[in-house]
Amino acid sequence: MSADRPLIGVLALQGDVREHTAALTAGGARVLPVRRESELSEVDGLVLPGGESTTMSRLLETFGLLAPLRARIADGMPAYGSCAGMILLAEKVLDGRPDQHQLGGLDLIVRRNAFGRQVDSFEADLDFAGVDGGPVHAVFIRAPWVESSSPAVRVLATVPETTAAGAAAGRIVAVRQGAVLATAFHPELTGDLRVHRLFVDIVRGHESGSRRTTEER
């Protein structure tokens, strides 16, 4: 890994891969599309993009990535999931398919398609802990929200308590647990690089910590 430009993978089986690739590159990372176990083994962190969570779950198994990815996340690899990626990283999902696979990494329960159908897409400005520069404009497209989380999960953003938010008001939509980050919304679609830069910094910090631990042994 280059300390300044970590190599971050984008799971490239389905979803908005190109948009995440552009945001990560602009945010200071080198990027590798990940479709094979050999590519997964090369990266310092991984983004799971928005898309269709049940399709991505099935493709992970088809491409032989399900077990290796679970193992790398359990071993501490930084991961960031947006929308469908948040669903995959959760320990449990509501309103999912019975055969849907979860990767773990976030000790929480999410509700799939909580914001409704495509026509119910919703936008809001969110106060986002750990990100400077004012509110983050969030685009929710058939998005999940967090139903509940353990104390180990840090809540980074919730939907504002407004009439326009409806049932989404106050819902948790951005979280972090250790080196795992997730948002229910799509920062890759807005041109705001702050969430991606936060993840690049998480990867840098994780790799620096790993090197220190190795040197101290």
pLDDT, one tens digit per residue, over 74-132 is: 999 999 999 999 999 999 999 877 788 999 999 999 998 887 665 457 889 999 999 99
The predicted-structure confidence for 11-28, as pLDDT tens digits, reads as follows 999 988 999 999 999 999
Look up 186 and say whether it is catalytic: yes
Please tell me the predicted confidence (pLDDT) of residue 105. 95
Please tell me the predicted confidence (pLDDT) of residue 167. 80
Q: Where are the domains of the chain?
A: 7-216
Cα separation, 164 vs 176, in Å, equals 26
Residue (of 70, 127, 137, 63) closest to 101 by Cα position: 70
**Cα torsion through 84, 86, 92, 98, rounded to 10:** 10
Residue (of 77, 75, 74) closest to 102 by Cα position: 74
- Structure confidence at residue 214 as a pLDDT band (50, 70, 90): very low
Look up 137 and say whether it is catalytic: no
In the set 19, 101, 188, 207, the catalytic residue is 188
- DSSP strand E in the chain: where? 7-11, 30-34, 45-48, 79-82, 90-94, 106-111, 122-126, 136-140, 145-149, 154-158, 172-177, 180-183
Share of residues in the chain with pLDDT > 70 (%): 91
In the set 20, 186, 196, 206, the catalytic residue is 186
Q: Are strands 30-34 and 7-11 parallel, antiparallel or unpaired?
A: parallel
Please tell me the predicted confidence (pLDDT) of residue 20. 96
CATH of domain 7-216: 3.40.50.880
Secondary structure class of 190 (helix, strand, coil): coil
In the set 19, 83, 101, 196, the catalytic residue is 83
Look up 188 and say whether it is catalytic: yes
